[in-house]
Amino acid sequence: MGSSDASQARNIHQYPQHSQEKLALQAEIEPAVQGAESGSPPEAETIQQLEQALLKTRKRFDSFISAAGHELRTPLTTIKGNAQLALRRLEKLRRKVGQQEQIDASALGADLERLQQPLDYIVYRVNEQDKMISDLLDVSRVQSGKISIVMRPCNLVQIVQNAVQNMHEMNRVIDLTVPEEESQIAIHADPERVEQALNALLSNAMKYSMPDRPVKVLLTIEEREASRMAQVQVQDYGTGIPADELDNIWDISYRVKGIEVQDGSSVGLGLGLFLFRALIERQQGAIGVHSVPGEGSLFWFTLPLAQQES
Ligand code: ADP
């Protein structure tokens, strides 16, 4: 990235504590809360404001349920179609083998390959749906304060390498840079939860940039105000995000209008960044984003190094 045009939106955001939506909702219910605290009966206007705030929340919830239902059903259509296709191909193969006394090995190989394709697709779509359901359950655990995070000594280099390695199966170029001298960056965290958080960034980087664009992952040690933190950056060269949307993207099911999926994958439930933020913050980490519309985005997180723990 990197442009010197001062008029261009260049945004560095850290710790957006309240989204605009939450602030608006708080402002709306504030008079009612104050009224209730002082013991005075609520004014008609206050009741009306409360009703409007509730209606807005309800609308948001309804649209999430309808989008989630749609997204969860989409893989089922492909799963069903491919299962039927595999069954038809299997039946055809069975008849063919039954009719032939001599089996032609190369023809059989090609038929088996044709059988493999829909089965692979089924597994891919089942995994996709499984991931959406896990995210949904994790969001509910975060909100009820019951998300399980088991902190222990672990190696961030290994976690990042695993995550990048798993994403390579998606046929995308992901450049990983780790500090030359460090094969081990000891952190005190939950390795599965850190990998889950990083996966959310990696899949967004791939989703919101064209398949021929690389994704860069950079692992560094940051010195800040006498403390040392490990930092992971995920850089994409995709759509970028407008400055006035950077506070909102961490909300459940918030999608930036006008930003479309670029790589043909499904849109998902809109829970990735909410979970990313919750998982990192619950491990004493910090998060942030730097984005230039039309050029790309850089999401990052830091985690405290293990030796700083007492
Ligand atoms: P989802 O991607 O499933 O919609 P997320 O919570 O992961 O949900 O992201 C919220 C929104 O933030 C996305 O819908 C998209 O509009 C925007 N966004 C997230 N990551 C990126 C990115 N790397 N580039 C551009 N837009 C992004």
Please indicate whether residue 255, judged by its CB atom, sits closer than 6 Å to ligand 1: yes
Please indicate whether residue 291, judged by its CB atom, sits closer than 6 Å to ligand 1: no
Distance, CA 255 to ligand 1 centroid (Å)? Answer: 6
**Per-residue pLDDT at 111 exceeds 80:** yes
Distance, CA 253 to ligand 1 centroid (Å)? Answer: 9
Please indicate whether residue 296, judged by its CB atom, sits closer than 6 Å to ligand 1: no
Please indicate whether residue 156, judged by its CB atom, sits closer than 6 Å to ligand 1: no
- Take atom 12 of ligand 1 and give the residue whose Cα is closest: 249
The Cα–Cα gap between 112 and 119 comes to 11
Residue 289's alpha-carbon distances to 63, 142, 147, 296, in angstroms, are: 27, 22, 24, 11
Give the residue, 263 or 15, on which the prediction is more confident: 263
Assess contact for 251 and 21: CB atoms under 8 A: yes
Distance, CA 226 to ligand 1 centroid (Å)? Answer: 33
**Per-residue pLDDT at 305 exceeds 80:** yes
The Cα–Cα gap between 262 and 204 comes to 10
pLDDT at residue 61, rounded to an integer: 86
Window from 28-37, 69-78, 89-98, 188-197 with minimum mean pLDDT: 28-37
Distance, CA 268 to ligand 1 centroid (Å)? Answer: 10
Which residue, 264, 268, 234, is CA-closest to 131? 268
For the CA of 209, the nearest atom of ligand 1:
24
- Which of 23-37, 66-80, 151-165, 222-236 has the largest mean confidence? 151-165
Tokens 């700083």 found at: 308
Give the residue, 8 or 39, on which the prediction is more confident: 39
Is the CA virtual torsion 158, 159, 165, 171 positive or negative? negative
- Name the token pair of 177: 């840079």
- Take atom 8 of ligand 1 and give the residue whose Cα is closest: 270
Residue 23: band (very low, low, confident or very high) from pLDDT cuts 50, 70, 90? low
- pLDDT (tens digit, 9 = 90+) per residue, 53-83? 889 888 888 888 988 898 899 899 999 999 9
- Which of 6-15, 66-75, 133-142, 258-267 has the largest mean confidence? 133-142
pTM: 0.81
- pLDDT (tens digit, 9 = 90+) per residue, 196-234? 999 999 999 999 999 999 999 999 998 877 788 999 999
